[in-house]
Amino acid sequence: MTKPRLPAFDPADLAESNATSYPAAFRADNSKRWNRRLGDHVGLKNFGVNLTRIVPGAQSSARHAHSRQDEFIWVVSGEVVLETNEGQQTLRRGMCAGFPAGCGNAHRFVNKSAADVLLLVVGDRTPFDEIDYPDIDNHAQAGADGKYVFTRKDGTPHDA
pTM of the model: 0.93
Tens of pLDDT, residues 68-88 = 999 999 999 999 999 999 999
Shortest CA distance to 61 belongs to which of 51, 70, 69, 52? 52
Answer yes or no: is 157 within a domain. no
47 inside domain: yes
Kindly state whether residue 110 falls inside one of the protein's structural domains: yes
- Taking every pair of Cα atoms in the chain, the longest distance, rounded to a whole number of angstroms, is 53
122 is a domain residue: yes
**Would you state the torsion angle of the CA atoms of residues 65, 27, 74, 88, taken in this order, to the nearest 10 degrees?**
-60
- Assess if residue 132 is contained within a domain: yes
Provide the CATH number for the domain around residue 51. 2.60.120.10
Q: The domain containing residue 138 runs over which residues?
A: 22-151
* Segment 21-45, tens digit of pLDDT: 999 999 999 999 999 999 999 999 9
DSSP E strand boundaries for 65-129: 65-66, 71-77, 79-84, 87-92, 96-99, 108-110, 117-124
Q: Structurally, how many domains does the chain consist of?
A: 1
Answer yes or no: is 117 within a domain: yes
